[in-house]
Structure formats: C-alpha cells, structure tokens
Copies of this chain bind each other. A is one copy, B any other.
C-alpha cells in the first residue's frame, strides 16, 4: 500500500500499483487546487473516501481500483478530477459459464498451534461462546404471548441461574400465511430449524407452536422427519391451553425453568481455537471498507483458518461482480461450481423480481465514495483474506465442515446475520463505514469501524477502530492480530462487545423467496 502519512497534509491511498484512481484520506476531504506530495493537483473539491484520478483517463478507458476495472469512463476525465458514479459505465457482471474454476488455489499456510478459548461444549460436538436459553417459534401468532413469557423469565427466573447468559425468543414472520410447499420454501424452513440448533443455545431450543399453523413443530425439530411427540418436554402448543393466556404463560415458564436448570449446570472449558465459527459481514460500507476494516478481517481470517477454525463470508450481490476472484481460489472444482450455482440462483431470483445486482448499493455507500457494486464488491471480498475457499453453504444451511466457507446470503444486514446464525456461527464480526448500532441476540457482534472519526464519535458502539490503518497508526497485520486475539477473548466471555453491553439486538429476519398467501 502506497501511504502518504503526514497527519495534516493532503493524503490519499493507492491500493494497487495498477490503479489509476486513489482515495482521499483527509477527514474533511480536500478542496480543488490541493497539491499532494507527488505533485497531483485536484481539479474539484473531493470529499473524504472519494476517488481522484492519477492520470488522464480518455473516454471509454477503464477506471481501475484494487487492480481491477470498476467502470469505463463515459467521457474524458482529466487528471485530478473527483471521479464519480455518473462518469462511469458499469462493467457487465462476469458471465458464469467461463469462470476460472479452482485455477489459483492458495497453498495451505503453516498451522497456528496452541490458541484456545473458553467455551461451552454441546452434546452435538459444537461449542457455544455464550450459554443462552433459546425459545423458538413455528409461527408469528405466538409472538405476543412469548414476549410476555420472556420478560417474566428474564425478570423472575434468570437471576436464579447465574451461569445462563440470557433468554432469547426466536420470533419471526414465517410459519403461516405462506406457500409452504412452494419450490423455494425450503429456505425459510431450514433456516428456522437451524437457528434453533445454534451452538450458543446449547444446540437446541424450546419450541412454541400455535397448533393450526402450516409450519408444524416436527419440521422445526427434525430435519428429515416432520413427526413429533406431542408430549416432548421441549414443545408447547398454545392451542392446547385449557385456561387461556394464564395457562400459556405458566406452561412456558415451567418449560423454561426445566431447561434453565440444565443450562445452569454447564461450565466453560478450554477448547481449541478451531471451535470458533466466525461469521463476517459488512454494512453501511464506504470506500475505506476495502482499505482498512475488510483487509484487517481478511488477515484475521487467514490466522483463524491456520488455527483450524471455521470462517464464513457472505453477501451474494457483493461478491457477484468479483466472483472470478473467488472461483479461482476454490479448493476444488466442485466448490467452485457450487459458488457458480449460488450466483446463478441469485441472478435468476433477482431477474424474476425485475432487479439486478446493481440494486445493492445504497445512498450511503455512494456518499461514502463507492461508485457502484463492482467497486463495492472488490472491497467486500477482501474480508475473505487469501486462503483457499473450502466450502459453500446455501441460504439457511448449517455448516458441515471447517475452513473458509462462502455462506450464500443476501447482503441485507439482518438477513445475512440471521442466515449466518442458522449456519452455526458462534461469533460475528461486522465492519461499518457509515456507522450502525447493529447487534444480534444470539451471538456476540464485534463492530469494526473503517474510519477513526466514527469510532471516536461512537465509542460505546464501535469495538475496534480500523481507521488506524488509513492514518498509518497500525498496519493491516497489526490489526489482524489484534482482531484474532479479540475474537478469542470475546468468545471466552472475557470481553463483552459494545452491542452485548448495551443489549442492542436486531430482529431475526428470514429470507423467504417463496410467495406468501
């Protein structure tokens, strides 16, 4: 990285020697007429994290960032201009039938031995980073009653069981009024099922059903067997209540206490770092995301993988335009083909709704200097580091192997987080440029800011400041190691994240590509 470091002088970052545009670092941007150390003079006022071109770019010529083409100039762009979305024609998405498959697989790096954390070992072999009572639901009908029950469990029961961290209701909008046999209904159904098996819930959850809904408890409790024992001690159907609301609350409280007693017996034990299942995500991205926070996550990801852990990255529309960089890194041709299949599924899903991947970028992204989804994607996939990609999960699928996994989810923060929880994530990391108070009830969320200014303004919401990389106060390697250790400390319960301390939780949001009725 070519970094110009004087604290108050005009500064930019060039990421790749091939790049003909660079990104302005200064908090207030730079006015027109600013001269950088290398002689480049700006022709426009350029805001922070926006792009300036190092050389004249003729009409039709590529604009290059991260060493890749992010667009073609619609007109001549003289050296020193503020390079913006409206001056660029977006490249077409890479065709899926001619991608390099497993052509450039990174070699396995030396294992990192001896790293551990303190976790809760579950009966199914997974490890929780928290010890949470989960209460899942088959249908939204039960939400009102369950909200009351959870409040009372938290107030009246939880204090009696100090080894249990929390009680969480897995409420959602699926379960009835949906086309449950439609072709794509398997996605929300397996998501609900796998959420309940998250390692942080001890690998199983209580189930609250209404009784008459379409999604029946058996489908939530078992993978290939929709039958269910109605006397199952972890299941309660509200329609079985003989005395209305009062009995419903009593029954749920009783079930909860039985489960709390069991959970309270558990103790943390030392487990290898390989038991970590980290989900990575970015939201409210800016042009620094791909320079500071995401590369640091990528470095930490490579460390975790060397320690044998599972690391998931996601967000189909944010990898689609850079997919050729992922298929080539796939460990096997089969893994590469699974990546292609997920891209193809999503292309067709968007086309059916008369949208395409360009629907991804937000006003905030653009204000943050990201011209289009190609530029956003190149900055997003940096999170995945430099390791081989070992596996692919469809939306709502649960992990089956360790290593670097592409978990194919929409980029929506809440949907991606929900699907990564269903995949089995026991720790989450979230990078943000524009800033968000994002949090999840079922897993600790480490929030990393792309810029120092944000972490200074929001000290109670941002856990790690990756903006230090832009200002030269830390290297990507420094921050990668810092994150690696921080992950292990949070996983062990030695540190609480900002979102945990404040109890900031976004709702579970299912991905249901099938119709509702």
The count of residues in chain A whose C-beta lies closer than 8 Å to any C-beta of chain B is 84
- Map CB proximity to B onto A10-24 as digits: 1 under 8 Å, 0 otherwise: 000000000000000
Task: Tell me which of B184, B355, B502 contacts A181 (CB under 8 A).
Answer: B355
Name the B residues within 8 Å of A507 (CB-CB): 140, 143, 171, 173, 507
Whether A258 is near chain B, meaning CB under 8 Å from some CB there, is: no
Chain B residues with CB under 8 A of A355? 179, 181-182, 514-515, 517
Q: In the complex, are the beta carbons of A359 and B517 less than 8 A apart?
A: yes
- In the complex, what distance in Å separates the CA atom of A444 from the CA atom of B142? 18
Task: Select the residue from A359, A415, A460 with max chain B CB neighbours within 10 A.
Answer: A359
Contact present for A517 and B350 (CB under 8 Å) = yes
A167 within 8 A of B: no
Are A173 and B509 in contact (CB-based, < 8 A)? Answer: yes
Chain B residues whose CB sits within 8 angstroms of the CB of A147 once the complex forms = 505
Contacts of A241 in B (CB 8 A): 457-458
Contacts of A415 in B (CB 8 A): 173, 177, 516
Q: Do A176 and B362 touch across chains, with their CB atoms under 8 A apart?
A: yes
B141 engages A359 (CB within 8 Å): no
Decide if A245 touches B353 in the complex (CB within 8 Å): no
Complex Cα distance A11/B153, Å? 45
Q: Which residue in chain B gives the minimum CB-CB distance to A176?
A: B362
How far apart are the CA atoms of A505 and B242 in the complex, in Å? 21
User: Would you call A238 and B362 a contact (CB within 8 A)?
Assistant: no
Contact of A359 among B182, B284, B506 (CB under 8 A): B182
- State the Cβ distance, A231 to closest chain B Cβ, in Å: 19
Pairwise interchain contact B410-A144, C-beta atoms closer than 8 A: no
Q: Is A412 an interface residue (CB 8 A)?
A: yes
**A480-512 residues at the B interface, CB under 8 angstroms:** 499, 502-507, 509, 511
Contact B178 A412 (CB under 8 A): yes
Interface 1/0 per residue, A367-399 and B, CB below 8 Å: 110000000000000000000000000000000
Which residues in B have their C-beta under 8 angstroms from that of A195?
Answer: none
A179 touches B350 (CB 8 A): yes
Q: Tell whether A438 is near chain B: CB-to-CB under 8 Å.
A: yes
Task: State how many copies of this chain the complex holds.
Answer: 2
Q: Does A354 contact B (CB under 8 A)?
A: yes
Contact flags (1/0) for A111-146 with B, using CB distance below 8 Å? 000000000000000000000000000001111110
- A360 closest partner in B (C-beta): B517
Contact present for B437 and A181 (CB under 8 Å): no
Closest B residue, CB atoms, query A173: B509
The answer to whether A410 and B148 touch across the interface, beta carbons within 8 angstroms, is no
B183 in contact with A354 (CB, 8 Å): yes
For A141, give its contact among B148, B212, B413 (CB under 8 Å): B413
Is B177 within 8 A of A412, CB to CB? Answer: yes
Tell whether A436 pairs with B210 under 8 Å between CB atoms, given A177-B410, A179-B350: yes
**Interface residue A414 (Cβ < 8 Å from any Cβ of B):** yes
Shortest distance from the beta carbon of A90 to any chain B beta carbon, whole Å: 15
Q: Which residue of B lies closest to A511 (CB)?
A: B516
**Which residues of chain B come closer than 8 Å to A517, judged between CB atoms?**
317, 350, 355, 357, 359-360, 410-412
- Leading 8 A-B pairs by shortest Cβ distance: A212-B364, A177-B412, A144-B504, A353-B515, A179-B355, A179-B359, A244-B458, A212-B434
Residue positions of A touching B, CB distance < 8 A:
140-145, 147-148, 171, 173, 176-184, 210-214, 216, 238-239, 241-246, 248, 283-284, 317, 349-350, 352-355, 357, 359-360, 362-365, 367-368, 410-416, 434-439, 457-461, 499, 502-507, 509, 511, 513-517
5 contacts across the A-B interface (CB closer than 8 A): A141-B438, A144-B503, A212-B368, A243-B457, A357-B517
